[in-house]
Structure 1
């Protein structure tokens, strides 16, 4: 991805929090971090230690004396704040901001996201430098995020906008999904065993019952190994003298 958003921390306090921000950024593929007057100075060993390996973000962090300097080369800036401001501003959710950032990146623009210090957030002068405000929809009775959480939330929405991970999938490790031929062979063998065991008490209902059984196993999305396991189970039951469907014997 090109023209990734820049994360800008304005007067962050603890090095540990900067390190956790770096970790959150790299989780979502963001690497450019800018720091405006970090209270405890820079570089910071505590930030490096708290980054959990996100060293490229820490080592690449740029230091600025003012917020205006930190955003000077950007074409569009978002300010994150949960407090109402006495100003007219374009306010968006993190999801909408992510969409806009991708749209602007496609046009060759570079965006930045401002985050205030841990104690009081951004001041009005910092917010005034932004083109839009990002406001996170949270419990109106409790809107408390730490710095790394706030960065992760915005970074995650940005990352998800272009992520193509399936919403749901079956983890089968080294096995393979069973082929239709193998599956049909298993169903035919099962049907034969059920028929021999007298499972189908009404011949007219047999097609309907077998369709239901087939659907049951299809929903399980069986693998080749699981199909072989069921074949083995049927062999073992037959070897034990149990007819499939003989409920009375299975209960004993």
Structure 2
């Protein structure tokens, strides 16, 4: 994996930052993408302090023109993308009848359109090289659904279906496409929830605890490695046993 370029979207914090940090430790040149430039900078600084190589590429991955510029900039500065991790996300919770059309469309724009655009942007160079890896970050809610999360779960379910379909299309051409579907992970978003909710949810989990970002990052590193060579169109579930498929 040494001297290859990995592009991680939504890598300014949480799971994305954990993935970017792990890939840098594995020897990748990491292109750190996030909507917020200051978030990109924090992750890049942390990777640099650990001795890794990373550069910030802030952009809105739901914007077609921005994605085209992003992938071109990454290729120009770090080299063609050998590993794409579609992690950028958008969170919102509401009862179904209270979800506005604008919120529904934003959810699908970030998760589904963003994944679509990023894959289309990096695939030509991967196919030309005859190799490449794409890992899409879905969610266990895309497998089982969630109350007051119809739009979020729907978008994550779409990512899982897209992963399977694209994997079937490009696997014989040297590009492996897989997904991960994390469960509750200790990120700033989860840490902001009430202590009672976190205690009750942890008690439901067979493992008895939430996951850590580095544990999710390990799943991505595995799928990108030679050890993951037989995994095609799969969805791994680092979810503390909450969903078993």
Structure 2 length normalisation: TM-score? 0.37
Structure label with greater radius of gyration: 1
Relative to total residues, which structure has the larger helix share, 1 or 2?
A: 2
Structure 1 length normalisation: TM-score? 0.36
